[in-house]
Amino acid sequence: MKVALTVWENRISPVFDCAQRLLIVDISGRAEISRHFEPFHWHSPFSRASRLSELGVQVLICGAVSEYFASMIDTYGITIIPFVAGEVDKVLDAYLTDGLYDRKFRMPGCSDQGKAWESRWDDVRNKKYY
């Protein structure tokens, strides 16, 4: 399975809608098999969602994402884990070890949405995207 993370420098890009680079990670079980970076210069919601689908992405881990972009990505059947912050390798390790729901990976200002965050993470875990 493939997981995409939006990247800005060595951190999760704070806003999906204008992210310029993706880290694509192939995962088997709970182990990383390979990784590579992809440019992500498409601007329209359709072209961004379409590109994720072309890359075979099943899960997108990102920072903030507008509702319009998120709904377009959802139409492609891609699971979105939004409002994530932190260093890319730590976020990926947390995802692989079922620890991404920890508050330290939430974007600043998202702490009041704890139940929504945990509910979204439960949905991802139940689908067993590992």
The model's pTM: 0.85
Q: Which residues of the chain have pLDDT under 70?
A: 109-130
* Cβ–Cβ < 8 Å for 19, 8: yes
**C-beta neighbour count of 67 within 10 angstroms:** 7
> For residue 121, what pLDDT is reported?
54
> For residue 130, what pLDDT is reported?
38
> For residue 107, what pLDDT is reported?
83
Distance of CA 86 to CAs 58, 72, 74, 89, 126, Å? 21, 25, 24, 9, 24
> For residue 61, what pLDDT is reported?
96
